[in-house]
Amino acid sequence: MTVPTLDIVDLKTHFFTRDGVAKAVDGVSLHVMPGEILGIVGESGSGKTVTGFSIMGLVDPPGRIVSGSIKFKGEELVGAPPERWRQIRGHRIAMVFQDPMMTLNPVLKVGTQITEAILAHEKVDGGEARRRARESLVAVGIPSPDERLEAYPHQLSGGMRQRVAIAIALVNKPDLIIADEPTTALDVTIQGQILAEVQALAKRTGTALVWITHDLGVVAGLSDRIAVMYGGRVVEQGPTDDVLERPYHQYTVGLLGSLPTRNKRGERLVQIPGMAPSLLKLPVGCAFQARCPRADIACAVEPPVVRPTPSREHRCAHPHVPVMRAAE
Amino acid sequence: MTTPMLATTKLTKRFEKRLDLAGRLAARLGANVKDEVVRAVDAVDLAVAKGEVMGLVGESGCGKSTIGRMLAGIMPPTEGAIFWKGRDRAALAGAEAKAANLAVQMVFQDPASSLNPRLRVEDIVGEAPLVHGLTTKAEAGDFVDQTLLSVGLDPAVKRRYPHQFSGGQRQRIGIARALAVKPEFIIADEAVAALDVSIRAQIINLFADLKAKLDLTYLFISHDLSIVEHIADRVTVMYLGRIVESAPTAELFANPNHPYSVSLLAAVPRIEDRKRIFHPVKGEIPSPLNPPPGCHFHPRCPHAFERCKVERPALKEIAPGRVSACHLNDKAA
């Protein structure tokens, strides 16, 4: 059997604040195979970004990884020395953030920033680094790459900046890219362009991709599998089609139901009552119970992971049974 | 035809950046510097009938928010006129002008930055109706309670400050503030864009309920086409300051006419489309500082021909209630 590119088991990342312990990630298990695109979907505060940061080893105090394991191609990363992290980060695992202005240095030329990423990990001469920088700009669909290498980030449009950020992530041909809401700040036609490039790249290079987003439409079009997060836990995961068509967890059901396209025009949208709980005051047991119409006493204990089929798993005491849905 | 509730003719907004002294000197000496002019909104004719929900869509920089601000009276137009119930708003005076201005209210995208952080909710909601004589000091408390109830907030929270609320609740406060002066027309500028999916559905339902209860008319500005498709009766598509197409919602989504509308609709990720191959539109959105001549969309348009590069296409009726600004429609005819 092939070794998964990423294998996370029962990861817990907690933030120890003055107001209490925020369990941002509380028992997450995920895996990504080589060449696979995994979409992590969740609302704000669901722990999806902290999961991404944990994989990159970027969790800063007061937060820390409390327990669990993150295996990258079989190698344990939790507790790895900083030296090892530096070798991996930006080289074997790369990250693309939501706001490219945050990741690009405003006073350095684009070319300098890309070659820096190469020279940090490999001993190559400047000319070779520059050639590869140009190559990676071409790969993400940037026109006239030679001019762009000489440009500063502020001279580029939002879509171009995000392409540069993706080019930097790609330049070392990593095994895994973590993309955290990379198209959220972009216009739809530009988002379409970026998604097209990423899709083609993943197919061509065999890079595994973790795509973190709140937009179900994007992951539906892009990912092979999806993981739905709520209150620091993965409440449901499985192959994209399967999850979207036969959700087990009531939160997934509610999320899908609240999309305007799933409702009749002009009619009331199906809405999830209430709001997401604070990570500081998560209820004991299922985090969704206060908003769930199916909740009862069984939900007051932490729901175990259930695997109804080999490819699906969920954490719900009262799952929607696919057969029942068909009969409705 | 009945008079539209709110209409504009040749509504234009230009933002100009004049040269400073150094710039003027440089220009005198022959340097290639000029005043910079952005035509944020370029001769827009828009009409919204009473009881209608008009969706206004477009990408960043297309001028949709600027139109909203001009209609709300926050920003004066450079040229063109705004008609409120058939009468030129600029020609109204005194009590009539005040009534016309109060009747159009706006709900903003980011409730965190559009609510005064130092005011309690009761003051945010209660200040304007008191100033405009819609309530008295003695009755203001009840008035605020009623307004908060109408947007689904518990009046018990009215002594709190905006930061003590979640995003969805803050947006409800923003809506309550707009409703407090008894408007007839609400401009919602990306009012649900900053909210989470599950909260978004709650606020969209609230907009629909309020419309039914208070007989409101909406201009719903959004970049999210799926929301506009759900809530709007008619949709107007803008590109770089101009209207490219306006049509009843169902017709536009089933059969968009303008090439830009076609590519915009195609670019929207939909949950129904699994593992699709994305076919993006070519090119960037041009800078509004220096828009392409002729049809603004021609450099990105797959069907562009010579005429598109020189002549601005006029908005023409292509079917009853549908207009589109594309030279291709002449070609086909």
Q: Tell me which chain B residue has its CA closest to the CA of residue A272.
A: B198
Token representation of residue B86: 């058939």
Whether A280 contacts chain B with CB within 8 A: no
- Buried b or exposed e, range A163-202, using 16+ CB within 10 angstroms: bbbbbbbbbbebbbbbbbbbbebbbbbbbbbbbbbbbebb
Quick one: closest CA in A to B60, which residue? A187
Query: Which residues from A are below 8 Å from B272, CB to CB?
Result: 220, 261
What is the spatial order of strands in the sheet that A75-76 belongs to? A20-32, A6-17, A63-72, A75-76
A276:B271 CB<8 A: no
* Secondary structure element (H or E) that encloses residue A226, with its range: strand A225-230
Closest by CA to A235, choosing from A282, A303, A296, A284, is A303
What pLDDT shows up at residue B232? 92
For B:283-302, CB contacts with A below 8 A are: 284-285
Q: Which of B59, B269, B284 is the closest to A218 by Cβ?
A: B269
pLDDT of residue B179: 92
Amino acid at A6: L
Closest-CA residue of B relative to A157 is: B284
Q: Which long-range contacts (CB under 8 A, 24 or more apart) does A265-268 make?
A: A265/B229, A265/B230, A265/B249, A265/B250, A266/B208, A266/B230, A266/B231, A268/B205, A268/B208
Q: Which amino acid is at B281?
A: V
Residues 6+ apart with CB under 8 A from A89: A56, A57
Looking at residues B308-330, what average pLDDT do you find?
Answer: 89
Q: Which two tokens stand for residue B289?
A: 């500082």
**pLDDT class for B184, splitting at 50, 70, 90?**
very high
**Residue A217 to residue B271, Cβ atoms within 8 A:** yes
* Record: contact A190-B284, CB cut-off 8 A: yes
- What is the rounded CA–CA span in Å between residue A89 and residue B305? 49
Nearest CA-CA partner of A117 in A99, A103, A98: A103
- For chain A, residues with pLDDT lower than 70 are 1, 262-263, 266, 322-328
State how far the alpha carbon of A307 is from the alpha carbons of A88, A319, B119, in Å.
Answer: 33, 11, 51
In whole angstroms, what is the distance from residue B240 CA to residue B42 CA? 8
Q: Which residues on adjacent β-strands are paired with residue B36?
A: B17
What residue in A sits closest to B269 (Cα-Cα)?
A217
Write the pLDDT tens digit of every residue in B50-65. Answer: 999 999 998 877 888 8
Helix axes B167-179, B121-131, angle to 10 degrees: 10
DSSP A89: B
- What pLDDT is recorded for position B233? 93
Distance from A157 to chain B by nearest Cα, in Å? 8
Residues of A in contact with B232 (CB under 8 A): none
Residue holding tokens 């119930």?
A: B85
Judged by DSSP in three states, B150 sits in helix
Q: What angle do CA A116, A120, A123 make, to 5 degrees?
A: 105
- Given this model, what pLDDT does residue A328 score? 38
Contact B272 A263 (CB under 8 A): no
Is A255 an interface residue toward B (CB < 8 Å)?
Answer: yes
Residue with tokens 């987003």: A213
Task: Residue window 112-131, chain B: list those with CB within 8 Å of chain A.
Answer: none
Question: Does A218 contact chain B (CB < 8 Å)?
Answer: yes
Burial of B331 (0-12, 13-18, 19+ CB in 10 A): exposed
H or E, element range at A167 = helix A158-170
Tell me: ipTM over 0.90: no
Q: How far apart are CA A115 and CA A168, in angstroms?
A: 9
Q: Do B284 and A159 touch (CB under 8 A)?
A: yes
Q: How far is CA B296 from CA A23, A40, B205, B238, B326, in A?
A: 50, 38, 36, 11, 11
Map residue B205 onto helix, strand or coil: helix
What distance in Å separates the CA atoms of residue B87 and residue A4, rounded to the nearest whole number? 69
Q: How close A250 comes to chain B (CA, Å)?
A: 12
Instruction: Specify whether the CB–CB gap between A190 and A222 falls below 8 A.
Output: no
| Residue B187 pLDDT greater than 90, yes or no | yes
Kindly state whether B267 is in contact with chain A, defined as any CB-CB distance less than 8 angstroms.
yes
For chain B, give the mean pLDDT.
Answer: 87
Of chain B, the percentage scoring pLDDT greater than 90 comes to 37
A281 shares contact with chain B (CB less than 8 Å): no
Lookup result for tokens 């350095």: A108
Number of helices and strands (H, E) in chain B?
Answer: 13, 12
**What is the C-alpha radius of gyration for chain B, rounded to an integer number of angstroms?**
22
Closest Cα partner for A255 from A267, A265, A243, A266?
A243
Please say whether the dihedral angle defined by the alpha carbons of residues A195, A200, A203 and A205, taken in this order, is positive or negative. negative
Length of chain A, please?
328
> If you measure CA to CA, which chain A residue comes closest to B224?
A188
Q: Which of A229-243, B17-31, B175-189 has the lowest mean pLDDT?
A: B17-31
Element at B307 (helix H, strand E): helix B306-310
Q: Which of B10, B37, B79, B32 is nearest to B287 (CA)?
A: B37
Q: Which residue of A has its CA nearest to B61?
A: A187
Among partner residues B201, B208, B278, which is closest to A192 by beta-carbon distance? B278
pLDDT tens digits for range B262-294: 988 888 877 776 656 666 677 777 777 788 888
E-strand ranges in B206-294 read 217-222, 234-239, 242-248
Taking every pair of C-alpha atoms in chain B, what is the biggest distance, in angstroms?
Answer: 68
CA distance B231 to A265: 7
The vertex-A218 CA angle with B187 and A110, nearest 5°, equals 95
Reduced 3-state DSSP string for B80-131? EEEEECCEEHHHCCHHHHHHHHHCEEEECCCHHHHCCCCCCHHHHHHHHHHH
Q: Is B166 on the interface with A (CB under 8 A)?
A: yes
